[in-house]
Amino acid sequence: MLELKNVYFTVPKSEEDREDLLNIIDGVNFTFEAGKFYAITGPNGSGKTTLAKLIMGIYPVSQGTIVYNGQDIAGWTITERAKAGIAYSFQHPARFKGITFRELLTVATGIEDENTLLGIMRRVGICPLSFLDKEVDAKLSGGEIKKMELATTIAAKPSLAIYDEPDTGIDLWTIGPMVSLLKKEAAEKQTTTIVVSHNKAFLEAADIVIIINSGKIVYSGNLEDALPLLEDLSVCTYRDSCEGDHDAQCFR
């Protein structure tokens, strides 16, 4: 249902020298099958989120094609991709002054009727019904806004759902039900699901685990066979820049 063909995302290494280029995504080829649950993982800075954003059209591909249901969508806008059934759940969802969760749900579903919206919220199950008229602003906690983000994505009934780190800010007790929810959506609605995550719960739930390192897909398959490689990647591979405390993310 979704095919990445020789996809690159290239940026200048620095503002000063725009000729010196870096491939953030470096020639990715992959086919996602309808109704399957994929988990994309890999070290920080490996290109996981970038790849997800290329699929949604948030970043433009520098080279290559993205074929979705038989059409090359690489030149499509975000809006066109959304209308074609692709939904994206952001790691750090936008906050709005004066826009309520109800309005976001209405934009996502086209439904204004309150009872229908409450029905959707009950089905998704992750947000209390009292969330409906909350403003999606800075007053929400990280967990609350993530739950709204997830519910909005599921409510849109996408054919392809992309979740970027869906467990960010979510309490430990909600992660299990969240994984079950995404699995259920994939199974019942044949939603092709791509989750970018480091969380073992999502990796265990996935039909296929994809490991990205330095902008390339270095593995795809079951979790068991992925484990040795994941252990290798979890050690710091950038020793030069790792010495100082300015790059603390290497010490994991």
Partner 1 sequence: MLNALDKSLLKTVADLEGLPKGAYNIRKNGKLLSRKVSANIDIETNADNTGIVVTIKPGTKNESVHIPVILSQAGLYDVVHNSFIIGEDAEVTIVAGCGIHCGTSEPEGHAGIHDFQVGKRAKVTYVEKHYASGDGRGRRTLNPTTKVFLAEGAEAAMELTQIAGVDEANRLNEAVLAADSLLLITERVLTDGDQTAVSTNNIVLKGAGSRANMISRSVMKGDSKQTFYATMDAQNKCFGHIECDAIIMDNGTNETMPSLKAGHPDAELTHEASIGKIASDQLTKLMSLGLTYDEAVNRIIQGFLK
Which x/- pattern, by CB under 8 A, does the window 52-81 give for partner 1?
----x-x------------------xxx--
For residue 135, what is the DSSP state?
B
- 72: three-class secondary structure by DSSP: strand
93 binds partner 1 (CB under 8 A): yes
Residues in the chain: 252
Q: Which is nearer to partner 1, 96 or 238 (CB)?
A: 96
If one asks whether residue 24 binds partner 1 (CB under 8 A), the answer comes out as no
- Which residue in 197, 194, 195, 127 sits closest to 155, CA to CA? 127
Indicate the residue among 48 and 102 with the shorter CB distance to partner 1. Answer: 102
* Tokens standing for residue 116: 């229908």
* Shortest Cβ 152–partner 1 spacing (Å): 7
For partner 1, the closer of residues 144 and 203 by Cβ is 144
Angle between helices 114-124 and 142-155 in degrees, nearest 10: 110
CA distances from 85 to 1, 10, 110 (A): 12, 27, 13
Residue of 4, 40, 52, 82 interacting with partner 1 (CB under 8 A): 82
Query: Considering Cα of 112, then 150, then 196, then 176, what sign does the dihedral take?
Result: negative
Give 11 or 78: the residue with its C-beta nearer to partner 1.
Answer: 78
**What SS3 state is found at 162?**
strand
CA distances from 47 to 2, 51, 81, 132, 138 (A): 18, 6, 21, 34, 28
Nearer to partner 1, 152 or 213 (CB): 152
11 binds partner 1 (CB under 8 A): no
Q: Which of residues 103-162 bind partner 1 (CB under 8 A)?
A: 103-104, 107-108, 152, 156
- Among 18, 83, 139, 184, indicate the residue that binds partner 1 (CB under 8 A): 83
Quick one: which H or E segment has residue 110? none
CB of 53 to partner 1, least distance (A): 9
Q: Is 170 in the site for partner 1 (CB under 8 A)?
A: no
Distance between CA 252 and CA 250 in Å, rounded? 6
Quote the distance between the C-alpha of residue 85 and its chain's center.
15
Report if residue 94 touches partner 1, rule: CB under 8 A. yes
| Count of alpha carbons within 13 angstroms of residue 4, beta-carbon side | 23
26/103 with CB nearer partner 1: 103
Stretch that binds partner 1, among 41-49, 89-97, 196-204, 232-240 (CB under 8 A): 89-97
Q: Contact residues for partner 1 (CB under 8 A)?
A: 56, 58, 77-79, 82-83, 87-88, 90, 92-99, 103-104, 107-108, 152, 156
